[in-house]
Amino acid sequence: MLLLLPRAAEACPLGLAPTTSTTMMLALGDAIAIALLQRRGFSTSDFQVLHPGGQIGRKLLKVADIMHSGDSLPLVPPTTSIKETVLAMTAKGFGCAGIVDRDGTLIGIITDGDLRRHWSDNSQTAVDVMTRQPKTIRPHALAQEALAMMNLSERPFTALFVVEDGRPVGIVNVHDVLRAGVA
């Protein structure tokens, strides 16, 4: 397609501008770039290494890059009293506690909401109050995926345990994701 210009003599000798050919060259250049990226196995991880500070690089952050781990994890065994669970939740500041069995496998979660729903009976233990099969995420998942899980859930939540082989290795909070500039 060629565009006819009003002042043909001033713009180009034939009074035409090559709009289609320039657009085609841009498309061809993009196609060649994508083909080379695929052939060389260029991944999102490679892109993030080369562009860590930009907006696209931030969208490629992994959960492992921003999660809390080690002693900061709010974990309790199933036999923990509700009072002790509340103390553990308060000490760690995530608004939840993960319930782990003897093998260290995450078997449930107690949130502030769970405590409010079971407030009348203080004789219960963590296993009585916990939500079984909590939503979790892998450490190598994108932080953007974690944010989507927390926000797009039927009941949105603010903290998500990071697990490997069923064992908690970290926890990520919606505020961590937002501070990292993922959203």
Give the helix, strand, coil percentages of the chain, each rounded to 5.
Answer: 45, 20, 35
The mean pLDDT of 160-165, rounded to a whole number, is 97
Token readout for 49 is 């290494």
Is the pTM value of this prediction over 0.85? no
Where do we find the tokens 């709010």? 74
Over residues 67-114, the pLDDT tens digits come to 999 999 999 999 999 989 999 999 999 999 999 999 999 999 999 888
Which amino acid appears at position 23 of this protein? T
Q: DSSP class of residue 5?
A: P
The mean pLDDT of 148-155, rounded to a whole number, is 90
